[in-house]
Amino acid sequence: MLTFTIRRLVLAVPTLLFIALVIFSLLQLAPGDPMAQVPLTVPPEVKERMREALGLGAPVHIQFFKWIVQFFWVEPQVLFDNIFGTSFSEGKLRVLSWQTRSPVMDIVVQRLPQTLWVVGMSYVLGVMIALPIGIYSAYRQYSAFDQIGTFVSMVGFSVPTFFTGVLLIVIFSVNLGWFPSIYDTTHKVTDWESFMFQLRQMIMPVAVLALYNAAQISRFMRASMLDNLNQDYVRTARAKGLGEKTVVLVHVLRNSMIPVVTVIALGVPQVFGGAIITEQVFKVNGLGQLLITSIEANDLPMVQTLTFIFALLIVVFNLIADVLYGILDLRIRYD
């Protein structure tokens, strides 16, 4: 297992470099101009000088090389400095956003908490709702519970979050006035009262996303349980007189979890990717909103860095899913 992990990690390096190159070339080829948002009252000669100041005049391969050095060499040094208080990165140029002229990674770090709180919480909540529903729906297939579960997950699956989000805002913020419609990212939890406020501002975005996540995962769980419930080993277990609880929750569940765990692990990078639409609707201003505003503003260093981080996370979680697979199912051997 260890050699497998190491081999995969080594293989990941060229993969990631290739991904970085692909992202960079795609962004170069895409139409658009970082000066598009500058008002028309600013004359073209001034815009041209602003472009030069952004480093847009440099040849493409130099721009790419600069980004690689800044991202893989300077940024880790900054991280190291922050942790150990050293000063390796002093005076070195970091990846700078074109919009804010500030280091991209600082903004990413600033955005992480709200994204992890809202999107992460909704994922955890979604999983916690989805698993029991999936198990019970499969066990009582075609029962009223299963039908309702199917209906709810179809709704959660097919109704877009920009609809459910706005619907919740209209009901709970505008008409009832219970929850704020705009997320306060500067809010700090210090006591019970501020915790309650945090809870109130998180309820709606978390509910919207949890419904979507739960719908997806509960369908996987149900399908996987159904596959196993009809297997011979289940009949054997029942025949030898084991209780239903043991049969379903120990024998069947353990085997059914294998594909579901993979699905859950592969979904984790999406948490870091943020939820572009839901974040916009509730003004959570996390990583998803950061990505979409950078795309609109043609802030290439920011888009490049963010998409690359997502790619990195996907590669890592793929590996984690594979390793988990081997741990859950002892029959699987990678060596």
Contact segment (CB under 8 A) with other proteins among 70-78, 124-132, 168-176, 259-267 equals: 168-176
Residue 187 CB, nearest distance to other proteins (Å)? 10
Q: Which amino acid is at 124?
A: V
Q: Segment 110-129, which members bind other proteins (CB under 8 A)?
A: 110-111
Question: Containing H/E element for 18?
Answer: helix 2-29
- Binding status of residue 285 toward other proteins by CB under 8 A: yes
Please, which residues have CB within 8 angstroms of residue 79's CB and are 6 or more apart in sequence?
Answer: none
Instruction: For other proteins, give the closer residue by CB, 12 or 166.
Output: 166
Q: Classify 108 as helix, strand or coil.
A: helix
Round to whole Å and give the CA distance between 220 and 256: 10
Round to whole Å and give the CA distance between 107 and 290: 9
Round to whole Å and give the CA distance between 222 and 279: 29
Q: Are 12 and 334 in contact (CB under 8 A)?
A: no
Q: Segment 21-80, which members bind other proteins (CB under 8 A)?
A: 31-54
Looking at 101, 188, 245, 331, which residue binds other proteins (CB under 8 A)? 101
DSSP E strand boundaries for the chain: none
- Binding status of residue 100 toward other proteins by CB under 8 A: yes
Instruction: For other proteins, give the closer residue by CB, 214 or 275.
Output: 275
Instruction: For other proteins, give the closer residue by CB, 14 or 39.
Output: 39
Residue 271 CB, nearest distance to other proteins (Å)? 19
Residue 168 CB, nearest distance to other proteins (Å)? 13
Round to whole Å and give the CA distance between 182 and 173: 9
Instruction: For other proteins, give the closer residue by CB, 101 or 245.
Output: 101
- Binding status of residue 87 toward other proteins by CB under 8 A: no
